[in-house]
Amino acid sequence: MSQQVWAAQALESFDAVVQATEGFRSRAGQRLMAEQVAHTFSSATLGKVDEESGEDAPTRSIAVIQAGTGVGKSLAYCAPAIALALSRGTRVLISTATVALQEQLVNKDLPALAALMPQPFKFALAKGRGRYVCKLKLDRLAGTGEAEEEADDDLFAEEEAAARAKRPRHETEARIQFYSTMAQTLSKGAWDGDRDSLDTPPEPEVWSPVAAEGASCTGKHCPAFSQCTYYDKRKELVGAQVIVANHDLLLSSLGARVLPELDNCLLVLDEAHHLPSTALDQFACSMDLSRITWIERLSSRGLRIGALLEVEEIADIPKHSAQLRQTLQDLARIVMDVYGAQLKSQPSAWGPARVRVPRGELPEQLIAPLGLLAASAEGFLDALRAISKALRAEMRDKPDEAKRLSTLYAQIGMLAPRLEELHATAQLLLQDAPEGAVPAAKWFALEVDGDFIVVKAHASPILPGTTLRNHLWSAVRGAVLTSATLTSCGHFDFFLREAGLHGDEATTTLEVPSPFNYAAQGTLIAAETRADPKNAAQFTTEMVDALLHDIARVEYGALVLFTSREQMRQAVDALPTAMRSVVLVQNALPRTQLLKRHRERVENGEPSVIFGMQSFGEGLDLPGRLCESVFITKLPFAPPDDPVGEARAEWLRAVGRDPFSELVVPATAIRLAQWVGRAIRTEEDQAHVYCYDKRLVRTSYGQRLLKGLPPFALEQRAPL
């Protein structure tokens, strides 16, 4: 079948779904986006190509589509993509950045689409292992609430063990009861083993001990394999034509065959503006230089298990173990000798103290120990791989001993990832950028844990585009990237560079405007202060006065967005008594409860004002009266002490470029557009957006930021 026929059939499916949707409203922008999706996915060559036998090189096809709020982008990509996948005998992989959108797709959009499309299709949600319970771990903890105390069977890190030692008896008993109830609910089939489906998802410190992990999993050799939630969910993925994942899972599983192969599926990246930051997080690494007793435990386990299996490679484990412990101690001492004064001078109230290595050029005295560390870690890892290989062979040969062997495998696997991370961090720290090349960001951090001082080393790439080009786009054939905010200051260039697609001949861009009449539906009020926002203390005092004056007039729902916790704290402290009952503060309640209370108040005709930070600035859908006003207290520039951002700015300056204009302003423009986007969610909404930062209208870069915002009616207000 030709590309044109595929594309035409996909659009016919889209049109049929739109017409069959009750109360549908024809949207030219949505149809335009669907056309681009159909064209992009019909053009890509899928599957293996044997270029040596004379076959043409595969055609890559990638579309970057900004679809304004209200376009209906989920339907615009789902309907044509699924129709094409069914025609081409392939699958659609949809990746999102937030759980909220994943749930919307799986629980609402895809079921509705499946009921309307002529061809049936199955869909499934893909999550990382850590979202599912490990039945072996749960059964082990359900009896005691804690791990066995014998060192050989302690599957927990020493910091967790220390926390358990300090835990009051009543809390330990509560843990026992919690795990026992969880195990009973699972065994009765009343719970599916997914953390997110619990009525109240547990805190990380409670969930972590029972979470499934790849390093300690023996797969089909595990005695609980037939009842494993994770592998049951994996089976659902095999039979699904549409898989919904997230950016973290997509990037962390590259080459691991957890998701469909990227050269043989249709990839949709929704909320694509998050992809660059996810890539930086995914490929960054760190190591603890202070807490090192795990190395001795891993060494003793490796020797004991390796001896049982007669693995010859264990002979050097004691040498590697001793060398690692000594070298980590040496590194911690050298770091404190070189950077201790700077680290100790930083106020602890602001979180871990950090010192970045200028230009990524490590002090000479750190290089030799790091080289020794990398070599010792590599030798140790080789020995562990030999043990793991022997264990898997033993499991195949002795299935009746699966439980004992799985426990041994887990004892190695629980600690091996620490060794792998240590090895990766040492290698990235040692990476020396050639002349003109881009250096990695490198920094050291100091934390205080009770009476214990913890020194950590960190390293990260600084250009997400390079990382994505090397690891993701080299494998992808057909992809659509979409979001409401992919242009910055009116252009795609910044996102294309960040995403690794700038200059890629396979990439096309399309901007689909929102159907909303922003000039009639909304007003942007530039409420200026006398103080310069750079004068934090004076500005915050003046801004809070203006904010309190404005929110006192809120009749229904409103959202106030802050750029720092300290700024939000000062605003909360300044609230008059009468207004305190109206304000809901982020983290005072779990997010779902806070939003539920907000909706209840507004539905009862009462005013309700949410105070929140960055996580409330996007992905929050509060239509109509739920959010009639958005208050932006200050332009959302990235934190000035981010070591990756600092390192990147330093490199840009070194090569004669302006980081503020090239990096800071475009990134802020996307964040600001997201914040402003909370105001108008439907064609009927009427809303006001207040910004108290006069730089928005008083500076040249502020004018650039304005170009990236919806065309609201603009009002300027002099200081009160």
pLDDT tens for residues 65-77?
999 999 999 999 9
Whether 692 contacts 525, CB under 8 Å: no
Lowest mean pLDDT among 35-44, 48-57, 255-264, 402-411: 48-57
**Average pLDDT over every residue of 689-711:** 95
Residue (of 510, 522, 495, 489) closest to 696 by Cα position: 489
Going by C-beta distance under 8 Å and a sequence separation of 6 or more, which residues neighbour residue 417? Answer: 213, 215
Angle at 8 between CA 502 and CA 21, to 5 degrees: 100
Whether 441 contacts 432, CB under 8 Å: no
HSE-up of residue 702 (Cα within 13 Å, Cβ side)? 12
Whether 463 contacts 469, CB under 8 Å: no
Residue (of 160, 21, 78, 5) closest to 480 by Cα position: 78
Residue 164 predicted with pLDDT over 80: no
Residue (of 633, 635, 586, 577) closest to 609 by Cα position: 586
Strands in 6-57 per DSSP E: none
Lowest mean pLDDT among 127-131, 260-264, 349-353: 349-353
Lowest mean pLDDT among 197-206, 497-506, 598-607: 197-206
For residue 165, the model assigns a pLDDT of: 59
**Average pLDDT over every residue of 373-386:** 96
pLDDT tens digits for range 634-686: 999 988 778 999 999 999 999 999 999 999 999 999 999 999 999 999 999 99
Q: 99 vs 338, which has greater pLDDT?
A: 338
Task: Specify which residues 386 forms β-bridges with.
Answer: none
Phi, psi of 463 (to 5 degrees): -115, 100
**Average pLDDT over every residue of 264-292:** 96
For residues 141 and 182, give the distance between their C-alpha atoms in angstroms, rounded to a whole number. 10
Residue 202 predicted with pLDDT over 90: no
Look up residue 566 and give its two tokens: 């300290």
For residues 701 and 606, give the distance between their C-alpha atoms in angstroms, rounded to a whole number. 39
Confidence tier at 52 by pLDDT (50, 70, 90): low
Phi, psi of 486 (to 5 degrees): -115, -20
DSSP helix/strand/coil, 494: helix
Is 498 exposed, middle or buried, given 0-12, 13-18 or 19+ CB atoms closer than 10 A? Answer: buried
**Average pLDDT over every residue of 255-282:** 94
Local structure of residue 523 (DSSP, 8 states) = E
**Average pLDDT over every residue of 425-441:** 88
Lowest mean pLDDT among 149-163, 165-179, 689-703: 149-163
Residue 114 predicted with pLDDT over 90: yes
**Average pLDDT over every residue of 696-712:** 95
For residues 392 and 401, give the distance between their C-alpha atoms in angstroms, rounded to a whole number. 12
**Average pLDDT over every residue of 196-223:** 84
Phi, psi of 267 (to 5 degrees): -105, 125
For residues 284 and 18, give the distance between their C-alpha atoms in angstroms, rounded to a whole number. 43
What's the mean per-residue pLDDT of the chain? 90
Look up residue 590 and give its two tokens: 């779990």
Confidence tier at 380 by pLDDT (50, 70, 90): very high
Confidence tier at 428 by pLDDT (50, 70, 90): very high
Residue 480 predicted with pLDDT over 90: yes
**Average pLDDT over every residue of 347-372:** 88
Residue 146 predicted with pLDDT over 50: no
Q: In what order do the strands lie in the sheet with 441-449?
A: 285-288, 452-460, 441-449, 353-356
What 593-599 contacts at long range (C-beta under 8 Å, 24+ apart), as own/partner pairs, is: 595/620, 595/622, 598/557, 598/622, 598/626, 599/626
pLDDT tens digits for range 528-556: 999 999 998 999 999 999 999 999 999 99
Residue 166 predicted with pLDDT over 70: no
Cβ of 197: how many Cβ atoms within 10 Å?
11
Residue 693 predicted with pLDDT over 50: yes
Going by C-beta distance under 8 Å and a sequence separation of 6 or more, which residues neighbour residue 704? Answer: 489, 665, 669
DSSP helix/strand/coil, 133: strand
Look up residue 48 and give its two tokens: 């293996």
Going by C-beta distance under 8 Å and a sequence separation of 6 or more, which residues neighbour residue 31? Answer: 14, 15, 18, 76
Confidence tier at 402 by pLDDT (50, 70, 90): confident
Q: Give 372-421 as a 3 state SS string.
A: HHHHHHHHHHHHHHHHHHHHHHHHHHCHHHHHHHHHHHHHHHCCHHHHHH
Share of the chain above pLDDT 70, in %: 95
For residue 525, the model assigns a pLDDT of: 97
Which value, to the nearest 10 degrees, does the dihedral of the CA atoms of residues 389, 308, 296, 156 take? 70
Confidence tier at 140 by pLDDT (50, 70, 90): confident
**Average pLDDT over every residue of 20-42:** 90
Going by C-beta distance under 8 Å and a sequence separation of 6 or more, which residues neighbour residue 456? Answer: 286, 287, 288, 289, 290, 352, 444, 445, 446, 447
Phi, psi of 95 (to 5 degrees): -115, 130
Whether 554 contacts 607, CB under 8 Å: yes
**Average pLDDT over every residue of 31-45:** 96
For residues 520 and 514, give the distance between their C-alpha atoms in angstroms, rounded to a whole number. 13
Place of tokens 């006069």: 694
Residue 241 predicted with pLDDT over 70: yes
**Average pLDDT over every residue of 186-201:** 86
For residues 3 and 609, give the distance between their C-alpha atoms in angstroms, rounded to a whole number. 52
Whether 460 contacts 425, CB under 8 Å: no
Going by C-beta distance under 8 Å and a sequence separation of 6 or more, which residues neighbour residue 651? Answer: 359, 438, 439, 462
Residue 115 predicted with pLDDT over 90: yes
